[in-house]
Amino acid sequence: MRVPMIAGNWKMNTTVTEAVALVNEMRRGLDEIDNVDKVICPPFVSLATVRELIKESSIKLGAQNIYFEEKGAYTGEISPLMLADLCEFVIIGHSERRQYFNETGEMINKKVRAALRAGLKPILCIGERLEENEAGRTEEVVTEQLRSSLAGIDYPSGLIIAYEPVWAIGTGRAATGKQANETIGFIRQIISQKYGKKIAQDLRILYGGSVTADNTAEFMQQLEIDGALVGGASLKANEFLSIVKQTSEIKQVR
Ligand code: 13P
């Protein structure tokens, strides 16, 4: 049985002061919900402060990016060792990083390896662009993204995958539950071929892209979908709480 997970990707939003306020607003409510891994991923500069605020709670912490070298002359970068000291999860390969910061499959592979080596749990993001979707190339694209991101990795212990179709991110145009379930089922098959049935069955695969309190139930009712990576709606305490609560209730019944 896979424990569902809701992760909030705050992206480049909130000052430290605002991050503190947001955590204070949702900490108690989130802490009271069980049966779901609740992860928040604030900007790097707030990680240490937020960590202190949630340390007595069941809320978990993640970062939004990582560099693959352990230390050295890489001005401005954040290493796996620095993150492992602060948090449990790290988002890797988000489409915004692929698009605006030219992250390639090879770089993402190095980041996943570095994260796993440091004992961090990567939340690996994959997903097709609109034109690829319209050309019926979704399966081909996610297959290639999985191949390159996981190349040479024997046993991805702790890995989580987030299927985030690029056309659904920040657009208000979410995939349907059925569409997301099909692609996530396909992703699980690819993982099964590469790593075997047991690892595939245990692997958590999240959906991401315009998830809101209003459409959460549609996704969580799907058997292959183990939770969500939430952007915009994770910045509103009440909405995020509602997403987590609904997930707990729906997945518990299943
Ligand atoms: P939105 O929920 O704002 O569409 O963002 C999704 C996302 O990119 C999460 O990583």
Residue 250: which of 229, 223, 231 has the closest Cα? 223
Cα torsion 138, 144, 148, 150: sign:
positive
Give the three-state DSSP class for 49: helix
Give 72 Cα–ligand 1 centroid separation in angstroms.
32
Protein residue with its CA nearest to atom 1 in ligand 1: 231
Cα torsion 167, 235, 66, 205: sign:
negative
- pLDDT (tens, 9 = 90+) of the chain, 254 residues, equals 899 999 999 999 999 999 999 999 999 999 999 999 999 999 999 999 999 999 999 999 999 999 999 999 999 999 999 999 999 999 999 999 999 999 999 999 999 999 999 999 999 999 999 999 999 999 999 999 999 999 999 989 999 999 999 999 999 999 999 999 999 999 999 999 999 999 999 999 999 999 999 999 999 999 999 999 999 999 999 999 999 999 999 998 65
pTM over 0.75: yes
Run of H or E including 29:
helix 16-31
CA pair distance 107, 111, nearest whole angstrom: 6
Kindly state if the Cβ of 9 falls inside 6 Å of ligand 1: yes
Whether 70 sits among the annotated catalytic residues: the reply is no
Run of H or E including 61:
strand 60-63
Kindly state if the Cβ of 227 falls inside 6 Å of ligand 1: no
Choose, from 103, 164, 218, 239, the residue flagged as catalytic. Answer: 164
Give the three-state DSSP class for 9: strand
Extract the tokens encoding 124: 């690996």
Give 181 Cα–ligand 1 centroid separation in angstroms.
17
Give 117 Cα–ligand 1 centroid separation in angstroms.
27
Residue 87: which of 43, 32, 29 has the closest Cα? 43
Choose, from 94, 96, 128, 218, the residue flagged as catalytic. Answer: 94
CA pair distance 50, 105, nearest whole angstrom: 31
Kindly state if the Cβ of 169 falls inside 6 Å of ligand 1: yes
Protein residue with its CA nearest to atom 9 in ligand 1: 231
Extract the tokens encoding 229: 């990576």
Whether 94 sits among the annotated catalytic residues: the reply is yes
Alpha helices (H) in 37-172, listed in sequence order: 44-54, 80-84, 95-100, 105-117, 130-134, 138-149
Predicted confidence at residue 108, as pLDDT, reads 98
